[in-house]
Amino acid sequence: ELKVEQNPLFLSMQEGKNYTIYCNYSTTSDRLYWYRQDPGKSLESLFVLLSNGAVKQEGRLMASLDTKARLSTLHITAAVHDLSATYFCAVDSGNQFYFGTGTSLTVIP
Amino acid sequence: GAGVSQTPSNKVTEKGKYVELRCDPISGHTALYWYRQSLGQGPEFLIYFQGTGAADDSGLPNDRFFAVRPEGSVSTLKIQRTERGDSAVYLCASGGTILHEQYFGPGTRLTVT
C-alpha cells in the first residue's frame, strides 16, 4: 500500500519566519497535491504538481516536486497568522488518492 | 458557480441503524470520490466513481458500506448496521479528468452512539 508521510506533524512558528513542510511517498507517482484545511472545514486545493521539477507559488507558499526522491516540499515565506491551518499532501495512484496525516501549522504573532 | 454540497451536515445515529449520506457534485464533473476522515488524520479513500459506475471501490472497509451514483451526478453513501467505529467526517469530492484535481464538499459529520 502506498504510504504518504509528512513532517513535521505539528509546527508552531512566529510571524515573519520561514519554514518548510516535507512530504515523502512510497511509490512512483508524477502527481502530487497540496491541500489546506481550516478547523471544522473541508479541504481547499492549493497546488497540483504534475511533473518532476514542478514548482508552483501562490503568495507566501511555494510547492515543489522531486519525483526521483519521491519528495515534495511546501515552503512558507514570512509566515502570517492567516496561514494557520492543517496542510495535507496527497498522491494519486491510479484511481485512488492517498493523503498524508497532515501538518498542523500555528503561526504566532 | 455552486460547489460540492453534502447533506446532512451532521448525523447522529444509534449503533445498528442504517444511514444515507448524500453528495451533490459540481455540475458537469464526471469523477466523484468519497473519503472518510477521522479526527487528526488525513482523508482515507473509500470509493471512486467515473460517471455512473464505481471505477474503484477498494477503499470501502467492509460490506456494510455501499455507494451509488445512478445518474452520474448525485451520489449516496449508504452504511448498514452502523458501528461506533464508523464515526467520522465523510467527505465527497468531484473533479474533471484532465488534472485529476478534486473539489471537496463540506463533509457530513457522522456520530454513532
Q: Does B56 touch chain A (CB under 8 A)?
A: yes
pLDDT one-digit tens code per residue, A71-87: 999 999 999 999 999 99
Report chain B residues whose CB lies below 8 A from the CB of A88. Answer: 42-43
Q: What is the mean pLDDT of residues B20-39?
A: 95
Residue B2's pLDDT band (cuts 50, 70, 90): confident
* Grid-cell match 520561514, residue found: A18
Q: Does B59 touch chain A (CB under 8 A)?
A: yes
Report chain A residues whose CB lies below 8 A from the CB of B32. Answer: none
Share of chain B above pLDDT 70, in %: 96
**pLDDT at residue A94, rounded to an integer:** 78
Q: Is the pLDDT of residue B110 over 60?
A: yes
pLDDT one-digit tens code per residue, B41-98: 999 999 999 989 888 999 999 999 999 999 999 999 999 999 999 999 999 999 976 6
pLDDT one-digit tens code per residue, B76-89: 999 999 999 999 99
Nearest in space to B109 (alpha carbons), one of B38, B61, B33: B38
Q: Is the pLDDT of residue B1 over 60?
A: no
**pLDDT at residue B91, rounded to an integer:** 97
**pLDDT at residue A30, rounded to an integer:** 75
Q: Does A81 touch chain B (CB under 8 A)?
A: no
Segment of A41-45, A90-94, B99-103 carrying the highest mean pLDDT: A41-45
Q: What is the mean pLDDT of residues A25-47?
A: 90
SS3 string of chain A? CCCEEEECCEEEEECCCCEEEEEEECCCCCCEEEEEECCCCCEEEEEEECCCCCEEEECCEEEEEECCCCEEEEEECCCCHHHCEEEEEEEEECCEEEECCCEEEEEEC
Q: Does A41 touch chain B (CB under 8 A)?
A: yes
Looking at CA atoms only, how far is residue A95 from chain B in angstroms? 7
Q: What is the mean pLDDT of residues B29-33?
A: 93
DSSP secondary structure string, B34-103?
EEEE-TTS--EEEEEEETTEEEE-TT--STTEEEE-TTSS-EEEEE-S--GGG-EEEEEEEE-SSS---E
Put simply, the answer to whether B102 touches A44 (Cβ < 8 Å) is no
Average per-residue pLDDT in chain B? 93
The torsion angle over the Cα atoms of residues A49, A33, B103 and B11, rounded to 10 degrees, is 180
Q: Does A24 touch chain B (CB under 8 A)?
A: no
One-letter amino acid identity for B10?
A: N
Burial B62-95 (b: 16+ CB within 10 A, else e): eeebebebeeebebebebeebeeebbbbbbbbbb
pLDDT one-digit tens code per residue, A40-68: 888 999 999 988 889 999 999 999 999 99
